[in-house]
Structure 1
Amino acid sequence: MAIVVLVTVPPADAQEFSDLEVGFKGFYKIGEWTPLRISLTSSESSAILEVDVVDPEGCITTIQGSRGVQSEGKLAFEALFKPGRIGAGITVRAKTADDKVIAKEVLTPQSNGGQVPEGSKQSVLFIATLGEPAGFEPYRGSGTERGFGGAKFIRFQSASELPSDPRSYESLNSLVIADDYKLSDDQSEALRHWVLNGGHLILAVGTDVKEFQASLFPSWEAIPFEVESRVQVPDTRLAGLESFIGESDKILASGRINVARVNAKSGRSMIRSREGGSSIPILARSSYGFGRITFFAMDLNRPPLSNWNSAPILCEKLINTFSRRIKERKLTSNRTRLTSSGITELGTQLHAAQEEFSEIQRMSSWTVMALIVAYLLIVGPLDYLIVHKVLKRPHWTWWTLPLVIASTGLLGVVAGGKANGDRMLLNQLDVIDIDQHTNTVRTFGWMTPYSPASNRHTLRVVSSPIENGEPATLNKKQPNVSWHGLAESAFGGMYRQGGFELARPTYRFDNSHAGFESFPLMVWSTKTIESDWAYHSEGLVKSNLSSRGYGQLRGSVTHHLPGTITDWVVAYGNQVYRPRSERFRSIRPNQPWLPASTGIQMRELRGYLTRTVATQIEDSSGTHGDVMVAQSAYDPLNRDLHEIIKMLTFHDAAGGTKYTGLRNSSLAKFDLSEILTLERAVLFGKLELDSPINQLELDGESVASTRQSTFVRILVPVETVDIKVRELPDSKKLVKPQNEQNDKAAEDAKGK
């Protein structure tokens, strides 16, 4: 018996993908821009990578990556993609300059035995560390849900592993750098833009002061910390650090400890120590643009902290977001069992408001059900009564039934066309953020077109920078444009399991990420897209605010924006300033805003946001009794954009999920509550513009906005003025001379 063995020999020029890395060490979030690295074994001199992923609706989107150049028989590619569904696969494709596909592979998720790790929800915290900071080792592991509220920890071995594209950092919540401060120019600029746009950078510098001074960090424009030198403090001066963590765990150290002497130009010093007769900050935090920089003046990777049992608690305090996120998860899960709104995120409430068109007046569900019942009555009992009993022509049913069906269908087409409209509609929402200290401007736009017909379009968003005489310094010529997804598990949400769906159209991002090609808009439906842009523009705001107490402001703020700010509030600390009447509800350009004006009233911020009212109840005797405090419940079905954006801005200050019952994970970077505690005031209001800053174009033609709203949020630096307390004279020194004088007078009187 002969056995024939068939052996398949691959061709000599076989193209194979390898070395796949998705996100940060396999960690990434759904709905956030994610880096992808992959290699291709090929003899081609160069090729271009394309990546196919699904959006939240199941449509396939194509994104072009980098050009791979031949090196030792391999082509190395990089790309940024935005995953739209949990558990969906990725298709990678390499093409030559003449558009010839030389390799293609469908990468399936690991849950199905594939190569692609499953993405995380946006509520999961991503903490990255560079170096070996103590306190994170017990929780890093394999990224499982344990320690620090289920956060994912990502470890970079060296600075060379850090990305050089700012969007690659989008999934990160915090980055801890304990050593290896040598970043390239591109890495430093990308990291700086990430912090300016809401990232949290933690710098731990103790012994390696010279290495830090030689890095690019001190050259960052308007950086709030200046490392001057290295000093040594006695171990007895670390009691403030021990009390800061709230544990009775003494730091085991003997002798003097290396500490970086830092000049904190702004922000808040949370731990200080005495050295040489002066006080130096050990732990300080300051805002930087719309993000934060935390400076820790000791080594996290050396003794005595590297072997301190309470180092994990210290790291949790440094991150300063875990406890809030854990509470939000628990409170939201409890609240959603009691409500039936179908909304669990503030971002979903904003999306629902964007999809509301007053021009489209559709029938309610009850009306449709009533019409169905009426149709059944006409086709059945009424037809039988007229044809059989009145006309006594039963065979006429062969004519009356088709006539009723055709008439009903025609009536439905006419009514549907009238109710759904026959023209393109557009709801547009723009938010402009301005940080006066760093002159950083970032703009966000949500555009929701409503289409009267099914078509494919070339879609672009054209933005105009806000300037005041001097031209703005643009990071890129056009904004980043992408689809908008819901952080929900319901239909249309990003947290649904699944991949490609049948009969779903495909489209692609253009190469500049400023729009889409072959973008599908279905008949009588909407699709929300979002855009963001950051740039540098000077002279938009002038101010000289100061504070002598928590929440108390003095000075003035003047804006030079191309429009009037209406329905404004100014928040600082735990206080809010607002107009007393309609007369003072507007702040015109070049008009100073004065907190001490008679037209402005001040109130506690949380009480204002929650509409808390205190009522004094009189008892039976007519005297004042107890005070009853009533707080208005938050309405997740409210469609008022002003109220939604205001709650997004001060969500934590209002009580967070405990008050609203909603998470704020998808739009967490919009929350400026913590900025209020870092010597910054926030001016929030609606900006009245002649034309919107963002313009939607379909097939090269501008689409006029049916409803357009622009809101502005300005971060204003506040100088904290120390209150000098005058010491009263010693009472004994005042009383003693008076007593001596009285005694002498008594003796004289007695002698007389």
Structure 2
Amino acid sequence: MRRLFPALLTAAALLQPGCLRQTPAVPPVQIDQVRIGFPGGSEPGEAADERGRSDLFKSGEWTPVYVDLTVGPQGLVGTRSEQAETGFQVVVEASDSDNVQNSYRVPLPNLEPNQQFTALAYLKPGGLLDDVSVSVRAVTLQPDGRRKKDDPLIPPARFTPQALDLGDHLFLTIGPHLPKLREALDKTNQNQTAARSRVAFVDTVPLLPTEWFGYGAVDCLILPTGSNPDFLKALLNDQQGRKEALAEWVRRGGRLVLSTGHYQDLAKELLARLQMALPVDIQGTLDVPRLEGLERWLVDRRPPPLVNQPLARQPGVTPPIEMARLEPRPGAAGEILVSQSGGAGTHPLIVRAAHGLGQVTLIAFDLDRAPFTSWGGQADFWYKLLDIPRPQPNPTDQAAAANPYPGYGENPSGELATSLQRNLEDFAGVPVISFGWVALFIFLYILVVGPLDYLFLKKVVKRLEWTWLTFPVVVITVSVLAYAAAYYLKGNEQKINKLDLIDVDLASPQGAIYGHTWFAIFSPRTQHYTIGLEPAHPVWTPDSADNNAGVLVSWLGRPEEGFGGYGRTRSQGFFRSAYEYAPAAAGLEDVPLQVWATKTFQASWERPLSPQGPAPLEVNLHRSQSDPQLIVGTITNRLPVPLEDAYLISGGDPIRHTAFSLGDLASNEARDIRLKEGDQGTRMAEWAASFIPAPYYGSSAGPTLPNNLLLREALFHDEVP
């Protein structure tokens, strides 16, 4: 008994709350870091741009999101059975330009205990300072693919990254660094009110996007190949779709600058893997003492001689410059910007050619090796090669100065996207009630429920306590009348306005058709919508098992400040429930639309032309051998509808660009062409100026153009001096 009593005291002491220490639970996964966009800076060790942004991206454009994870001691391993499938997903959530939350999901592979992993997701932010959350979720899918359970494993990580300013240009270098590129861009960044140019870099292949739209914020991508062959080899050996994503981005409108000299064999293999057919072949290397062709190209800037430095051990001996030997392909379309004498003749030094809707510039010497890296003319070279726009005042700033208080629905900035969205949301039979009428009815409503109700009860009924009855009666009556009036004016029919832009590429070896679609939906009731798009007519393209391949669908906003624009500085979604992107952003699911509300979307797609069926257009044109300015041949319209107000644009350089009016082309009509530049047609600058209005910064909504002229202005606005 004597021994039992001390033992009981000891046990009681151990059971006190402060004596038992519980080991803190280890989370199943931990989010270590989230990076949105591409790493900023152009020099090794440079972690941020001059505004302190470590990662660069644009609002209103797709950008990659890198989520660094550390798995807990249990690992993350999914299960599969006949009834359900369990896995894990990274979910990135933000708001669009209408402040509606949306999310993009990427599945996680099975991860080992304590493994570190970087998940690659994508985001289209709706503001310059957009609230973003990233979470890891355990998801259970039913056999039909619908989610049965969707539980967060840990609290989401929330932060507010800063995007580039509206109108800023983003240049991305992958592989080696190009320090002097920043110096060239700084020349354009002196005007604080102008659009500025930024430099980002990626020096490891795993940081490259696996989806083509991950490059959406990039204006030009530069790939040097002279000093980091391991990067090229890793890109060539990649099996996760990074080469395919880069090639598709260029085909769908991207600009690629590739330089090669010493490792021209790797560059040649990369171009073959990317399926980029250029107007030249790379055939080994060529040694030249000096790149005088490049010096002549920059003669107006008087660059120093581009030669190697003399050898330290052999004074007076200057080693030659190694360049890739480019041989033109007969009949291939392209533009030789610079030529260089060497060997047995003259060889192209800089070549530019179209690839789909995009552009490829091939440079036959290394931009990341001597002597170019120590050359004093680098800044002028980049300035001219990239066609960096000179500083121009920001149109939004000019508009604000001319019209500091624009009315609702006005477009003082003159942005084409704003005008296009305004046109799309103008539905026939759905009038827009002006703010003046709304203010008048609000005033009458306040007058009825306030003074008139009081005077009626005091002077006529003489019982003020009846306001407990008259007030709700007036409110209900006015609400019913307002709903009936809106129902009468707005209707109960769902409406869609849609605009398509189709590009038929007959120059590429396979042939392709590209589409851009902008559409707005008017919802007569509160409803959630699933948004998708079916691409080209099946007669033109081969059958595909995956109808969503190549389709990209997202919201459309205005490139300006204020509600509905993705240039605002802060946003927080009004709706708690977020709509979702389908895999690879091929569609949208559960998009909420309120009653009598509108929302605008944009989509793009790509399809190869069917080798069996006819192309939408058949073009057989050539220049006469006796007169190179004479264009002869035929154009056949295979579309089931006529082409109205058609034009033929010719010319190998901007000075010779000429627009010929063809009038209307009926369906299946074959038109004989015999047109001569100089004698017929209109110079491009004059033709473009005929339908592109001057910049408007007035105090009203400004001129309204129909959609066809808006698209024409968007396509050819660069032609106006």
Is TM-score (shorter-chain normalized) higher than 0.5? Answer: yes
d(CA) in 2 for partners of 1:7, 1:306: 62
Deviations 1:698-740 (A, max 9, x none): xxxxxxxxxxxxxxxxxxxxxxxxxxxxxxxxxxxxxxxxxxx
Distance 1:217 1:21, change over 3 A: farther
Give the corresponding residue for 2:374.
307
1:600-615 maps to which residues of 2 (within 5 A)?
602-611=681-690
State the secondary structure of the residue aligned to 2:483: helix
Distance 1:299 1:55, change over 3 A: same
Deviation of the 1:124 alpha carbon: 1.9
1:412-491 maps to which residues of 2 (within 5 A)?
412-438=482-508, 439-465=511-537, 467-468=539-540, 471=543, 476-477=548-549, 479-491=551-563
The one-letter amino acid of 2:324's match is A
Give the corresponding residue for 1:618.
none
Deviations 1:295-331 (A, max 9, x none): 11112122221111221221222222x225x32x445
Give the corresponding residue for 1:154.
200
How many aligned residue pairs are there?
Answer: 619
Give the corresponding residue for 2:46.
none
The one-letter amino acid of 1:419's match is L
Moved more, 262-271 or 547-556: 547-556
Give the corresponding residue for 1:52.
93
d(CA) in 2 for partners of 1:404, 1:96: 51
Give the corresponding residue for 1:257.
321
- The counterpart of 2:254, out of the listed 181, 186, 199, is 199
State the secondary structure of the residue aligned to 1:507: strand
d(CA) in 2 for partners of 1:346, 1:356: 16
Aligned 8 A contact 1:90 1:106 in 2: no
- Percent identity over the alignment is 21
d(CA) in 2 for partners of 1:141, 1:8: 57
Deviations 1:486-534 (A, max 9, x none): 2221112222233434555422223463333322110011111222211
The one-letter amino acid of 2:381's match is L
Distance 1:355 1:167, change over 3 A: same
**In angstroms, what is the RMSD of aligned CA positions?**
4.0
Give the corresponding residue for 1:555.
633
Aligned 8 A contact 1:218 1:226 in 2: no
The one-letter amino acid of 2:267's match is F
Aligned 8 A contact 1:23 1:34 in 2: yes
Deviations 1:377-425 (A, max 9, x none): 888999999999xxx9574997998687776555433322211212211
1:491-510 maps to which residues of 2 (within 5 A)?
491-510=563-582
Give the corresponding residue for 1:748.
none
Distance 1:396 1:654, change over 3 A: farther
Distance 1:97 1:239, change over 3 A: closer
Moved more, 335-344 or 398-407: 398-407
The one-letter amino acid of 1:95's match is R
Are 2:284 and 1:229 aligned? Answer: yes
Deviations 1:673-719 (A, max 9, x none): xxxxxxxxxxxxxxxxxxxxxxxxxxxxxxxxxxxxxxxxxxxxxxx
Give the corresponding residue for 2:158.
108
- The counterpart of 2:263, out of the listed 199, 208, 212, is 208
The one-letter amino acid of 1:45's match is L
The one-letter amino acid of 2:618's match is K
The one-letter amino acid of 2:320's match is R
Give the corresponding residue for 1:338.
402
In structure 2, stretches of 5+ residues that fail to align are 1-17, 40-54, 78-87, 141-148, 309-317
State the secondary structure of the residue aligned to 2:338: strand
Distance 1:351 1:437, change over 3 A: same
Distance 1:609 1:483, change over 3 A: same
Deviations 1:428-458 (A, max 9, x none): 1222122111212221222211111112234
Give the corresponding residue for 2:223.
177
State the secondary structure of the residue aligned to 1:414: helix
d(CA) in 2 for partners of 1:217, 1:416: 60
Aligned 8 A contact 1:349 1:636 in 2: no
d(CA) in 2 for partners of 1:105, 1:542: 58
d(CA) in 1 for partners of 2:323, 2:262: 7
State the secondary structure of the residue aligned to 1:594: strand
1:318-717 maps to which residues of 2 (within 5 A)?
318-320=385-387, 322-324=388-390, 326-327=391-392, 329-330=393-394, 333-339=397-403, 340=406, 341-344=410-413, 345-369=415-439, 393=460, 395=462, 409-438=479-508, 439-465=511-537, 467-468=539-540, 471=543, 476-477=548-549, 479-511=551-583, 513-538=585-610, 539-540=614-615, 541-547=617-623, 553-572=631-650, 573=654, 575-579=657-661, 584-592=663-671, 594=673, 596=675, 602-611=681-690, 636-655=702-721
In structure 1, stretches of 5+ residues that fail to align are 111-116, 614-629, 656-752
State the secondary structure of the residue aligned to 1:163: coil
Aligned 8 A contact 1:92 1:104 in 2: no
The one-letter amino acid of 1:577's match is A
Aligned 8 A contact 1:442 1:534 in 2: yes
State the secondary structure of the residue aligned to 1:643: helix
Distance 1:50 1:470, change over 3 A: closer
State the secondary structure of the residue aligned to 1:73: coil
Deviations 1:561-592 (A, max 9, x none): 34322122233346443548xxx323433523
Deviation of the 1:362 alpha carbon: 3.7
d(CA) in 2 for partners of 1:50, 1:440: 34
1:19-34 maps to which residues of 2 (within 5 A)?
19-25=33-39, 26-34=55-63
State the secondary structure of the residue aligned to 1:567: strand
Give the corresponding residue for 1:687.
none
The one-letter amino acid of 1:545's match is L
